[in-house]
Structure 1
């Protein structure tokens, strides 16, 4: 009787150890191949660099638009920008200008 009971205890211990090992291996696999694991690290770095470049481009565009808004202030409008906008939006030219169409 005692021999059978020891065998079942050993089997239970091996089962618990096997489950613990499987869980540990799954955790290691998740750390290596998961969405924030070691394999995804390079992809995340590449995306970060790409987004930083995009951010710099957007900041330049924002600064350009801020400048144009400041030049279009009705209290102190820039006459050159006003003339450029009238010509581009309304197709208006001065009487002394000559329009040349390029092929």
Structure 2
């Protein structure tokens, strides 16, 4: 009886570890630089800080506007506020006043 024996190659043992490391490297690369990776997380954190600062500015502006509206409500009308708004709406100034355009 004649048998054919095949000699096992050294490279045959490296195929599975090489494929495994390639797939692992692919996922590690995307975990770092992908759309939801660590670099994107840092960019989102910077963007969140900017948006929080804008939000704080808008809240301050809203509070200022609410104070102005509260000063114009019935029962608490201030003459200066009414005079200022009437002059602005009618585009009127007295002769002794200086007008500063913004």
Per mean C-alpha deviation after superposition, the further-off stretch among 66-75 and 53-62 is 66-75
Output the aligned Cα RMSD. 2.9
Indicate conservation of the 8 Å contact 2:71/2:78, yes or no. yes
Q: What are the residue-to-residue correspondences of 1:9-24 with 2, within 5 Å? A: 11=12, 15-24=15-24
TM-score by length of 1: 0.67
Q: Which residue of 1 aligns with 2:56?
A: 56
Residue 74 (structure 1) aligned with residue 79 (structure 2):
no
Higher helix share: 1
Residue 98 (structure 1) aligned with residue 101 (structure 2):
no
* Counterpart secondary structure, 1:74: coil
Q: Which residue of 1 aligns with 2:85?
A: 85
What is the number of equivalent residue pairs in this alignment? 96
Q: Which runs of 5+ in 2 are unaligned?
A: none
TM-score by length of 2: 0.68
CA distance in 2, matches of 1:83, 1:74: 15
CA distance in 2, matches of 1:83, 1:101: 14
Q: What are the residue-to-residue correspondences of 1:26-37 with 2, within 5 Å? A: 26-37=26-37
Q: Which runs of 5+ in 1 are unaligned?
A: none
CA offsets 1:44-88 (integer angstroms, 9 cap, x no match):
332222112111111111111111121121342222111101111
CA distance in 1, matches of 2:55, 2:19: 47
CA distance in 2, matches of 1:27, 1:67: 55
